[in-house]
Amino acid sequence: MNEMNLGSGKRVIAKAVTFTQIMVNLRPANASDLDLLRHWDEQPHVLAADPNDDWNWAVELRRTPEQLAIARCLQTRR
């Protein structure tokens, strides 16, 4: 289990979770995730949830890795 400090006294404890054949890991987000994050932000359900939200991902991705994580799903074999 890994503990991540989110700043302002906030923290999250994350661990890999194994489902039937998929494992989810959290990893630090980085500049190579910019296009994916912008794509997610353009999805109708995201816009419906907060139409005026602007994360400015190019700036957010320059923050320290403890402040921003992204899920990665890996297909596993039994």
pLDDT at 34: 93
List pLDDT tens digits, range 42-71. Answer: 899 989 988 888 888 898 888 775 666 676
pTM given for the model: 0.55
List pLDDT tens digits, range 1-11. Answer: 556 566 666 66
H helical segments located in 1-78: 34-41, 44-49, 57-60
Residue 29: Cβ within 10 Å count: 20
Q: Which residue has the higher pLDDT, 62 or 12?
A: 62
What is the DSSP secondary structure assignment for residue 66, as one 8-state letter?
Answer: G
Mean pLDDT, to the nearest integer, of 31-45? 91
Residue 69: Cβ within 10 Å count: 17
Query: What are the domain boundaries of the chain?
Result: 2-75
